[in-house]
Structure 1
Amino acid sequence: MKQTVSGGASASSQSARPGRFARLRRAVATFMGLALSGATAVAAQPAAVPQHWVSYAQLLGNQFQAWLGDDANPAVVRVHELMGGPKDAGDAVAAAAQPVVAKVWVDATGRVERVEFPTLIDTRVRDALTEVLANRSLAEAPPADMRQPLVLQLKLEPAAGGA
């Protein structure tokens, strides 16, 4: 199973670049608390968001993607089993298509201080994702003027070989 984070491209994408930046813009727009109703709003949004915020959101998304791809981590394996391991292949595709909203707070040193998953009902999945993502250090501290929480959409995707 492979995971992507808004702003990250999956290996199976036909046109990864345009989707990558559109998802990043949507994630940043969601972070800003702005509703996007169409492509025009998406195109106009990046001008309102400081570039250093966009860069940091991309860094965070890439780091989360790497952490969620670490199959040696037992919590990652649990996330795979709970979200991507339904009874049949059709269920696996449906489960993988559902994005998970993550609210993320990062302290001044770059440590993920807290994560919340408001769209998840299953406490087992929330606990496993929290174990994977919380209390870990990022490569950089957030910009001093960055609003928090950052809101990202995480998406689990089956690996090329299946779940």
Structure 2
Amino acid sequence: MRVGASKQARTIPANQAPKAWVVYAERVSACFQAALEGDSAAARRFHAFLDQRTRTDGSIGTEDVPMVLRIRAWIDAAGRVTQIEFTPLGDPQAESDLRQLLRAQAVERVPPRDMLQPVAVRLTLDARL
């Protein structure tokens, strides 16, 4: 789990983070996963990107081998995602779609009062989303 007050965040292993932080990060991850599994135009384009990348990028392998994205998200006091960062995907449209999908999420709960940000989550993706 990555926590911190700025982009210069420090890393705290999940097993050392307060339980409330871990639970909240799991909630964020579930919201993001649901967004990626949706049927919006952005989700369909992102699925097509994953499908193409899975077939052509030797580092990923076959359709059965997932890709892991590390996402850093800043969430405001109302539970809205305000900023997203991730390693570039090499495709501006896919990056825009991913950012749009994740920023549209409302976590429905505010972060724990003392939780530092960004919230870091890993999403396992494959072309069969």
User: What are the residue-to-residue correspondences of 1:12-91 with 2, within 5 Å?
Assistant: 28=1, 30-31=2-3, 33-34=11-12, 46=15, 48-70=16-38, 72-86=39-53, 88=55
State the Cα distance separating 1:73 from its structure 2 match: 0.7
State the Cα distance separating 1:115 from its structure 2 match: 0.7
Partner-residue secondary structure (3-state), 2:30: helix
Q: 1:76 to 1:84 in 2, by over 3 A?
A: same
2:19 and 2:54 map into 1 onto residues whose CA distance is 43
Higher relative CO (CA 8 A, sep ≥ 6), structure 1 or 2?
2
Question: Which structure shows the higher helix fraction?
Answer: 1
Asked if 1:140 is matched to 2:118, the reply is no
Percent of aligned pairs sharing the same letter: 26
| 8 Å Cα contact 2:79-2:107 kept in structure 1 | yes
Partner-residue secondary structure (3-state), 2:121: strand
> TM-score normalized by structure 2?
0.78
- The letter of the residue matching 2:35 is W
Provide the aligned C-alpha RMSD in A. Answer: 2.7
Question: Which structure shows the higher strand fraction?
Answer: 2
Q: 1:148 to 1:96 in 2, by over 3 A?
A: farther
- The letter of the residue matching 2:11 is G
2:24 and 2:55 map into 1 onto residues whose CA distance is 38
> TM-score normalized by structure 1?
0.63
1:104 and 1:138 map into 2 onto residues whose CA distance is 11
Structure 2 match to 1:7: none
Aligned length: 121
Partner-residue secondary structure (3-state), 1:79: helix
- Runs of 4+ in structure 1 deviating by more than 3 angstroms, as ranges, are 86-92
Unaligned runs of 5+ residues in structure 2 are 4-9
Partner-residue secondary structure (3-state), 2:11: coil
Q: Deviations over 1:81-128 (max 9, x none)?
A: 112234848866369533112110000000011111134332222101
1:55 and 1:147 map into 2 onto residues whose CA distance is 14
State the Cα distance separating 1:135 from its structure 2 match: 3.7
